[in-house]
């Protein structure tokens, strides 16, 4: 989490494709990942293989964005009809090229390519166990722990999907996996369903992706979601096979609610529910539960815009756009020094004086983490002539860290940890402040089982004895 944005950082995005007709898949994987770029901007990679050729995986990984890393020549060199791709933000492990995915393993049974989204809570102990039996790690990410366990289980399994299932019995935490074996594409989702994963199809090719928006980008139609705890195996001989032996009762599911609030693209559907509708509902509930007299409702781009529209529709107060966002500034950018951090928000956002001057403004944002961005944005509105600024937040207050892949920091860094709502309002300079009520969370997720650990401290799995957020950084 960077100080200048004070925003939750995205997870990772995974995408896999198998063309049964033998067509090259690298270009489609590239565009699928492009649709998932919002989930990670630190590194990217694609690995492909030719199912009719030698058992060899061609792999390209690099730091940075897709369009900075891949050239037409690079994609043309990735020949293969089966492949996996990944965009990464590091919630665990250093941000270095060695930690970019997909990971590729060559072992006695052949080759494996793996892309992983999520965090394991028992990765350190599993890693030490492997190290004491001779494993030599090339990365500092828990994804390599998963890959090693799959490879080891494969030695005593009849199939790679059986090996994935055996490995899943050992690993604990959040994960959506796409595994490429020489002639199978496998998708797996942790039993709690923390991270999304869906299946698509285009002609005679099957796709696995973190979000449905990636299917739309390549012209694939949505088939269904991978269920929490399910392992799907895709092959020309049998199409889609399903193993649900690791599934748990629906009432135990614990999807990350921030997929709906912030992470996922608004045009995606997660487990059958529209992300756009979820954010509109959050805004409507804020208007019902925390109304205030004002002249204009505005969102903090981009994630606050849809909740702001929902608030405006419910309240009858006009919706407007109060900020111009610089589209050419990425999620991170060069900062010459400490002083520049004070203006970094203004590099990205600038208020429209004509819109806000003399008005009472309701400003909607998806969350407040440390509060270091909120105060600057409120000040921007006041400097632009806003008469009042009332802030409404599309999530409850953060009180606890996350151990499952969302970059929510230690408690002492969370502004809501030891301050009342009134104290926070005074710190960030608003006339009033209100958060989404905790009991509204299941409603914005369409009644699906969600994790509320970062708000309540009650996690679906016991937190690890050691802090895994950024583990293995030596």
Structure tokens, 211: 């979000």
Dihedral of CA atoms 116, 120, 183, 82 in degrees, nearest 10, equals: 0
CA angle 72, 76, 80 (to 5 degrees): 140
Task: Say if residue 310 is exposed, middle or buried (CB neighbours under 10 Å; 0-12, 13-18, 19+).
Answer: buried
Give the 3-state secondary structure of residue 359.
Answer: coil
Q: Which of 67, 65, 45, 66 minimizes the C-alpha distance to 57?
A: 45
- Please give the sequence-ordered ranges of beta strands (E in DSSP) within 157-316, or none if there are none: 176-181, 184-189, 198-202, 205-209, 221-225, 231-235, 239-243, 255-256, 269-270, 273-274, 296-299
Task: Check whether the bond before 102 is cis (ω within 30° of 0).
Answer: yes
Q: Which of 109, 102, 182, 185 minimizes the C-alpha distance to 146?
A: 102
Q: Are 246 and 165 in contact (CB under 8 A)?
A: yes
Dihedral of CA atoms 126, 132, 138, 140 in degrees, nearest 10, equals: 40
User: H-helix or E-strand containing 143?
Assistant: helix 142-154
Cα gap 210→140, rounded to integer Å: 23
Which member of 12, 213, 247, 256 is catalytic? 12
Q: Tell me, what DSSP letter sits at residue 342?
A: T
Q: Are 175 and 210 in contact (CB under 8 A)?
A: no
Whether 12 is a known active-site residue: answer yes
Strand partners, 73: none
Cα gap 396→258, rounded to integer Å: 11
Hey, which residues are catalytic here? Answer: 12
């Amino acid at each position: 989490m960077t100080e200048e944005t004070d925003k939750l950082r995205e997870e990772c995005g995974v995408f896999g494709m198998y063309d049964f007709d033998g067509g090259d898949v690298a270009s489609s994987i590239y565009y699928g990942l492009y649709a998932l770029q919002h989930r990670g901007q630190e590194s990217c990679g694609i690995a492909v293989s030719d199912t009719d050729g030698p058992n060899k995986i061609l792999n390209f990984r690099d730091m940075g964005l897709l369009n900075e890393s891949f050239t037409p020549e690079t994609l043309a060199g990735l020949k293969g009809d089966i492949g996996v791709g990944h965009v990464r933000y590091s919630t665990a492990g250093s941000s270095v090229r060695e930690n970019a995915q997909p990971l590729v393993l060559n072992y006695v049974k052949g080759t494996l390519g793996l892309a992983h989204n999520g965090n394991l809570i028992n990765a350190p102990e599993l890693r030490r166990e492997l190290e004491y039996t001779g494993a030599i790690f090339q990365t500092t990410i828990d994804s390599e722990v998963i890959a090693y366990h799959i490879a080891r289980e494969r030695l005593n399994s009849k199939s790679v999907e059986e090996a994935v299932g055996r490995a899943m019995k050992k690993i604990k935490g959040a994960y959506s996996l796409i595994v490429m074996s020489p002639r199978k594409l496998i998708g797996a989702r942790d039993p709690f369903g923390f991270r999304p994963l869906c299946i698509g199809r285009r002609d005679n090719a099957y796709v696995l992706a973190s979000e449905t928006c990636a299917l739309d980008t390549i012209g694939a139609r949505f088939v269904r979601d991978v269920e929490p705890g399910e392992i799907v195996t895709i092959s020309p001989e049998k199409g889609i096979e399903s193993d649900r032996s690791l599934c748990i009762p629906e009432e135990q599911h614990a999807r990350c609610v921030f997929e709906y609030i912030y992470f996922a693209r608004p045009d995606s559907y997660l487990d059958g529910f529209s992300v756009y509708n979820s954010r509109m509902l959050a805004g409507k509930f804020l208007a019902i539960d925390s109304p205030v007299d004002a002249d204009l409702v505005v969102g903090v781009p981009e994630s606050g815009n849809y909740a702001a529209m929902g608030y405006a529709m419910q309240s009858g107060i006009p919706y407007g756009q109060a900020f111009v966002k610089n589209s050419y500034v990425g999620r991170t950018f060069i900062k010459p020094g400490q002083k520049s951090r004070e203006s970094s928000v203004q590099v990205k956002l600038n208020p429209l004086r004509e819109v806000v001057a003399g008005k009472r403004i309701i400003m909607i944002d998806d969350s407040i983490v440390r509060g270091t961005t909120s105060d600057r944005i409120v000040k921007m509105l006041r400097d632009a002539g806003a008469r009042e600024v009332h802030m409404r937040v599309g999530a409850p207050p953060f009180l606890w860290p996350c151990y499952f892949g969302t970059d929510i920091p230690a408690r002492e860094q969370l502004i809501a940890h030891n301050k009342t709502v009134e104290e926070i309002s005074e710190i960030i300079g608003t006339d009033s402040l209100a958060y989404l009520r905790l009991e509204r969370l299941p409603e914005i997720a369409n009644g699906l089982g969600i994790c509320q650990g970062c708000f309540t401290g009650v996690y679906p799995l016991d937190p690890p004895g050691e802090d895994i957020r950024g583990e293995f950084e030596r």
